[in-house]
Structure 1
Amino acid sequence: MMKSLSARIFSGLFAGLILGTLVQYLLSDVAFFSATLVDIAAAVGTMFVNMIMMLVGPMVFISIVCGVCELQDLRSFGRLGGKTFGFYIINTLVGISAALAVVLLLRPGEGVEMSSHASAVIHATELPDLTALIVDIVPRNPIGAFTSGNMLQIIFMALLLGGVMKSMGNSVASAVAGFQTANRIMMKLITLVMQLAPIGVFALMFKLGATLQASVFVSVLQYLVLIIGLLLLWVFVVYPAAVGLFTPVSARTFREKTQEQIMFSFSTASSNATIPVTMRTLTDKLGVNQAIAGFGVPLGATMNMGGVAIYITVAIFFIANAFGMPITTEQLPTVLLSIFLLAVGAGGVPGGGMVMIGVLIHQMGLPVEAFALVAALDRLIDMILTSCNVVGDTAVLTIVDQTEKAHHNGALMSDV
């Protein structure tokens, strides 16, 4: 059944893109096709994504509470949390380092003469305040955390509640059973909504094909190829190789198990919207422990942004070179720290990387015209970098799960 759903999502993706492209280039003079039909597709695609986003907050909260309650002891929770967080940070740093090495070697944008006609304006803003980000994790209004979709706040509340319930033991067994029942209901709802995925994916890709202008790619082909090439390398080579190296799952098996996840994230361009698919990929296909998936997936959708890190690094160096303002050696440490903070703070929503690049463009004093270039190409890049982000989540958590199994096996051996 899952394989059939993957095939239908794949078919919807390409059918929508092809038909949308035909509308743009062959039927653009017919108002019904160029406007009305595109608007209908946009509405259907938006409704589908909203339907998933509606379920994400409650699903994450319930799943984490259940995951913490199912842990053997709270000490394993502390170890698991620290390990997952550390692996995510390492993953982001590796992405930045690899992208930096490539841009310093190839120097994209050098010799490119960008015209100075601005089509977008960047408003003054500031780099993320790390202290404020940490303080904001604790919500003043728990309902507000759900209505705003603040994943860090939702995770905090779920961890707090799950930890308290676990510490109370059998006296709250009925409450634990209630959350487990709620978790099964949420999984059933997600399965139901996922049956609509081929239609939602078709609508999203139809709109993209009908509105994307091919002419904007001509002068920046090197930039586009470089980013897409790096992201695809990470999705199909680096992450599978890492899983194959550190777990019993082979690189080939990992690629096969993540096909549906890649197709879905490619069409929605949202790590948060892909959370249900990522959870199912980990637990049902790769056999990862429910507690690890329940804790790690929403955290990864919020802060494990290896794809965004690559995107921001390549984009800012290309723009700086193309506009004749190359980044100097003295500027490099500050720029790299900014890229790291921005990548972590990008959030799992469509266009998050573009917004963060806009922040960095303003912070570095680059021409505002540069943002027009980023905005023009972002939708295509965003789809691929989202796939990179979510496959990165899956790879990291598969490795974390293996280290936890090794730890438990070692503990059992020492007890014998």
Structure 2
Amino acid sequence: MNLTVKVLLGMALGIVVGLVINLGGLSPAGSFVNEYLVDGLFLVVGKLFVNALKMMVVPLVLFSLICGVCGIGDIRLLGRIGTKAFVLYIFTTAIAIATGILLAAGLGIGEGMNAVTETVFTGKDSPPLSEVLINIVPSNPVSAMATGEMLAIIFFAILCGVGMLMVGKKAQPVVEFVELLNEVMMKMVTIIMALAPYAVFCLLAKAIGSLGLDLLVKLMGYVAVLISVLLFHLFVTLQVILKIFSGLSSMTFLKKMRNVQVFAFSTSSSNATIPVTLRTVTERLGVKNSVASFTVPFGATINMDGTAIMQGVATVFIANVYGVDLGFGGYLTVILMSVLASIGTAGVPGVGLIMLSMVFAQVGLPIEGIGLILGVDRLLDMIRTAVNVSGDAVVSVIVAKSEGQLDLDIYNDPDAGAFDTDDVHLDEEVEREMAQMVRNTHDHK
């Protein structure tokens, strides 16, 4: 079995085990299953895996982007890549939320529903756009890396790369060293991915086992519409955009993105999935590192197609529940607010609900209405994240193709960059050579 089959099998088994635990009432507070499985083994293994992925994000983005800038050949290309990526990310976000609003309004979800919730949601202020722009330039790059401020890390990495280019040949040893570090980081990602099937099983068993499925039934209209729009955007809208702007095969793209989508679904974090997305986009889809090293982390920060869809569907749902008629002007405001919020709330934890509270405040909907959908948001967030990372990859491929930075042979080869379990085995001869090299160096000193 290859890794993709193993991961999909882990995903399926995790969902089945989670449903058995939940529907069978096997996990009441204080029970053996709850203490030692759901909040024990499943929680620990899942968290360890997500932490391992997050551990790789900052060094991988830093070294990969420095290598990308140094190897780009024409520094003006970086400006074109950034502009194209930004426009496409905003364009797909606007389409996503418009689709969500149209379908949700057309089906009238939430109308006549006398929903009562005991869950209290308190809106959290998001930073103003001016603060986000100011924080792009870090006053302390080490602090920015420690806290995972992606836009600041991107800026610092680009500046480092440009500085090395200006130094010229004297910087060659540093560039070669960074390239070696980048290769080591990629190998570390490969090691972590080998553990993915077991981690995916634990993550999904924990999530589904803890989820209140009775709440899903009560909110079935909202859940069904939101999932339908998310899947439509993933399998139709994004694939049409890919075909129009690049002319490439959508089937090839979807097959090669399966691993990334399962990772994103399991972790519910675009940032945590960056290492896997970056590896897939470069080694499986053929996007040159000079493009992918910028578009992938940039997209994980500002591209929120899945979240934007949730904004639209949730706004219509809550408006209908409370009997508020937003009208055409109100829905247009929702679209504009969501697009702007996707930039202004970049990198903020819990970004989806923060954006939603901003939208509600702008159109006059009660913030406490968010409490109605909080219970099912965990499951829906998993699907939203899978859509988000797919959007990152689509834009990366389109931008790379337009700039001649896409290897079509790799893209069209179904086996290119496929994960091989032999990749995580140590070569005994290499081990001996490294040991001898270290001894020689020590003896020389």
Q: Same fold by TM-score, threshold 0.5 exceeded? A: yes
Query: What are the superposed Cα offsets for residues 230-250 of structure 1, whole Å, 9 maximum, x if unpaired?
Result: 111121222223223332421
The aligned residue for residue 5 of structure 1 is: 3
Where in structure 2 are the equivalents of 1:375-386 lying within 5 Å?
375-386=374-385
Aligned pair in 2 of structure 1 residues 207, 108: CA closer, same or farther (>3 Å)? Answer: same
Partner Cα distance (2:207, 2:44) in 1: 13
The aligned residue for residue 394 of structure 2 is: 395
Query: What are the superposed Cα offsets for residues 202-233 of structure 1, whole Å, 9 maximum, x if unpaired?
Result: 11111112111111122321211111111111
Cα pair 2:115 2:372 within 8 Å, conserved: no
Query: What are the superposed Cα offsets for residues 50-73 of structure 1, whole Å, 9 maximum, x if unpaired?
Result: 111011011101111100000112
The aligned residue for residue 18 of structure 1 is: 16
Q: Does 1:34 align with 2:34?
A: yes
Q: Which amino acid aligns with 1:303?
A: I
Partner Cα distance (2:209, 2:165) in 1: 52
The aligned residue for residue 80 of structure 2 is: 79
Cα pair 1:121 1:371 within 8 Å, conserved: yes
- Deviation of residue 354 (structure 1)? 2.9
The aligned residue for residue 240 of structure 1 is: 239
Where in structure 2 are the equivalents of 1:261-300 lying within 5 Å?
261-300=260-299
Cα pair 1:20 1:205 within 8 Å, conserved: yes
Partner Cα distance (1:337, 1:267) in 2: 30
Where in structure 2 are the equivalents of 1:105-254 lying within 5 Å?
105-115=106-116, 117-123=117-123, 125-126=124-125, 128-254=127-253
TM-score, normalization: structure 2? 0.85
Cα pair 1:304 1:393 within 8 Å, conserved: yes
Unaligned runs of 5+ in 1: 408-416
Cα pair 1:118 1:368 within 8 Å, conserved: no
Q: Which amino acid aligns with 1:43?
A: V
Partner Cα distance (1:352, 1:35) in 2: 30
Query: What are the superposed Cα offsets for residues 155-191 of structure 1, whole Å, 9 maximum, x if unpaired?
Result: 1101111112123222211111111011001101111
- Deviation of residue 350 (structure 1)? 7.6
Aligned pair in 2 of structure 1 residues 121, 78: CA closer, same or farther (>3 Å)? Answer: closer
The aligned residue for residue 62 of structure 2 is: 61
- Deviation of residue 111 (structure 1)? 2.0
Aligned pair in 2 of structure 1 residues 332, 232: CA closer, same or farther (>3 Å)? Answer: closer
Q: Which amino acid aligns with 2:31?
A: A
- Deviation of residue 295 (structure 1)? 0.8
Partner Cα distance (1:331, 1:253) in 2: 39
Q: Does 1:337 align with 2:339?
A: no
Unaligned runs of 5+ in 2: 407-445
- Deviation of residue 107 (structure 1)? 3.1
Aligned residues: 404
Cα pair 2:129 2:344 within 8 Å, conserved: no
Q: Which amino acid aligns with 2:75?
A: L
Partner Cα distance (2:55, 2:287) in 1: 25
- Deviation of residue 20 (structure 1)? 2.1
Q: Which amino acid aligns with 1:286?
A: L
Moved more, 48-57 or 21-30: 21-30
Partner-residue secondary structure (3-state), 1:325? coil
Aligned pair in 2 of structure 1 residues 92, 110: CA closer, same or farther (>3 Å)? Answer: same
The alignment's C-alpha RMSD in Å is 2.2
Aligned pair in 2 of structure 1 residues 126, 31: CA closer, same or farther (>3 Å)? Answer: closer
Partner Cα distance (2:36, 2:369) in 1: 32
Q: Which amino acid aligns with 1:155?
A: I
- Could you tell me the percent identity over the aligned residues? 38
Partner Cα distance (1:136, 1:105) in 2: 41
Cα pair 2:22 2:208 within 8 Å, conserved: yes
Aligned pair in 2 of structure 1 residues 88, 163: CA closer, same or farther (>3 Å)? Answer: same
Cα pair 1:80 1:292 within 8 Å, conserved: yes
The aligned residue for residue 45 of structure 1 is: 46
Cα pair 1:317 1:326 within 8 Å, conserved: no
- Deviation of residue 329 (structure 1)? 4.1
Partner Cα distance (1:4, 1:373) in 2: 41
TM-score, normalization: structure 1? 0.91
- Deviation of residue 101 (structure 1)? 2.6
Partner-residue secondary structure (3-state), 2:12? helix
Partner Cα distance (2:246, 2:121) in 1: 47
Partner-residue secondary structure (3-state), 1:119? coil
